[in-house]
């Protein structure tokens, strides 16, 4: 595997960062997970815009222009002969000392990995996931805005561990007020009487690129849709539920906390959304 690292394309065995890098020491950095479908890097410009905004929020300099970053992403895919897969783009604060001070890091570290990813077995896409609600709450907006896609994912990892201990592959995280925020690695949607509902960013949801795609699909296909506060009760009693994410794409949920959702099978609106999503990923984005 070939990895882009600070301006060079190197073998993965040679792609190394300093043990003094603040991305490693403190989770001080930002990242994007991006998908490529049949040579089309899906919504690359939107991903790079979100990366730039995350970096600006933590006052981290982006070492490349957007066009140069886009070319680096595409070239990393070309170097690996990757037409279908997953891209991880990371910018860390760079190497510094053992203190917190980010201004002592002379320059950021940038690396790009282009490889494969599989979050869930195919059977769960066909039959739906069974998920749980965990006790670990989503970090409050005034502590760390959910719009920042940072390297510090310990909050999500703790929730993921809880899900695993409960025998589930994914879990809902609530915010401090007890409303549904998101899952450990995915945004959540429900369908109630033909209308798609999803938590807003103010509730603690990441503004996911796939999430935004679903909102676009709803508008284009005239499916009623709105952002609103959701409780676990809303999910339990929904007609359908599905999760979205760059890695997960669109995956149905058929059970939460032991309660069967809808018919207990993936629903028709979920299927309609997924069909439209699969068309979009092939045409919206940047060709390698």
- Write out the catalytic residue numbers: 149
d(CA 161, CA 231): 22
Provide the H-helix boundaries in 132-267: 154-165, 209-220, 232-236
- Residue pair 157/170 in contact (Cβ under 8 Å)? The answer is no
Q: Closest by alpha carbon to 200, among 223, 170, 222, 179? A: 179
Which alpha helices (H) appear in the chain, and where do they start and end?
A: 22-26, 44-57, 66-79, 122-127, 154-165, 209-220, 232-236, 268-280
Strand partners, 231: none
Phi then psi dihedrals of residue 236, to 5 deg: -55, -40
What the block records as the tokens of 84 is 């279908």
Tokens of 224: 């009623």
Instruction: Please name which of 97, 26, 94 lies closest in space to residue 60, comparing C-alpha atoms.
Output: 94
The DSSP output letter for 138 is P
């Amino acid at each position: 595997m070939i990895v882009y690292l600070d301006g060079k394309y190197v073998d993965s065995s040679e792609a190394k960062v300093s043990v003094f890098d603040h991305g490693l020491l403190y989770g001080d950095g930002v990242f994007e997970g991006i998908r490529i479908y049949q040579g089309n890097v899906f919504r690359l410009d939107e991903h790079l815009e979100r990366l730039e905004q995350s970096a600006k929020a933590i006052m981290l300099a982006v070492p490349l222009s957007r066009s140069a970053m886009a070319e680096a992403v595409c070239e990393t895919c070309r170097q690996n002969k990757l037409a279908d897969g997953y891209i991880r783009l990371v910018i860390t604060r760079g190497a510094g000392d053992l203190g917190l001070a980010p201004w002592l890091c002379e320059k950021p570290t940038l690396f790009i990995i282009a490889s494969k990813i599989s979050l869930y077995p195919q059977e769960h896409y066909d039959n739906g996931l069974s998920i749980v609600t965990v006790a670990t709450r989503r970090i409050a907006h005034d502590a760390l805005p959910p719009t920042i896609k940072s390297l510090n994912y310990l909050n999500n990892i703790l929730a993921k561990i809880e899900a695993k201990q409960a025998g589930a592959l994914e879990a809902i995280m609530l915010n401090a007020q007890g409303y549904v925020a998101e899952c450990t690695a995915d945004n959540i949607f429900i369908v109630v009487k033909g209308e798609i509902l999803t938590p807003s960013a103010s509730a603690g949801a990441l503004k996911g690129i796939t999430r935004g795609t679903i909102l676009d699909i709803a508008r284009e296909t005239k499916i009623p849709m709105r952002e609103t506060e959701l409780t676990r009760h809303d999910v339990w009693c929904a007609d359908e539920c599905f999760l979205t994410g760059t890695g997960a794409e669109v995956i149905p949920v058929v059970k939460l906390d032991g309660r069967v959702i809808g018919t207990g099978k993936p629903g028709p609106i979920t299927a309609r959304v997924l069909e439209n999503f699969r068309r979009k990923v092939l045409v919206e984005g940047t060709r390698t």
